[in-house]
């Protein structure tokens, strides 16, 4: 597999690892999202310390309003964070 294929597979695997824990197997409820962020994006979680910040993040991600984060909503979030990281590294280069 190429690096990109491996990366895409890894994102899917991470989502499933947490989404399967409780309730709907294909969606992240708030507690699953919180565990995922804490374990997989610890540096980002430094900025999502309190419950209110997590509520706001979930609200922002949950575009269809079912109070859960499905894979499409998760990907939108990952894309956003990845674009932000890319911009950050570009600025570092300059």
* Interacting residues toward Ca ion by CB under 5 A: 19, 23-24, 62, 64, 66, 68
Q: Which is nearer to Ca ion, 25 or 49 (CB)?
A: 25
69 forms beta bridges with: 28
Cβ proximity to Ca ion: between 59 and 66 the closer is 66
Structure tokens at 74: 């998760």
For residue 63, the minimal CB distance to Ca ion (Å) is 6
Phi-psi region of 28 (alpha: psi -120 to 50; beta: other; left: phi over 0): beta
The helix/strand/coil state of 40 is: helix
Q: Are 40 and 14 in contact (CB under 8 A)?
A: yes
Closest distance to Ca ion from the beta carbon of 49 (Å): 23
Residue nearest to Ca ion (CB): 62
We find the least distance from the C-beta atom of residue 50 to Ca ion, in angstroms, to be: 22
């Amino acid at each position: 597999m190429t690096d990109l294929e491996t990366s895409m597979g890894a994102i899917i695997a991470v989502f499933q690892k947490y989404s399967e824990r409780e309730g709907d197997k294909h969606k992240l409820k708030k507690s699953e999202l919180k565990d995922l962020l804490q374990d997989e994006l610890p540096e980002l979680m430094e900025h999502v310390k309190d419950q209110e910040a997590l509520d706001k993040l979930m609200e922002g991600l949950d575009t269809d309003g079912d109070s859960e984060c499905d894979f499409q909503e998760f990907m939108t979030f990952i894309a956003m964070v990845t674009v932000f990281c890319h911009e950050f590294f570009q600025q570092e280069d300059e």
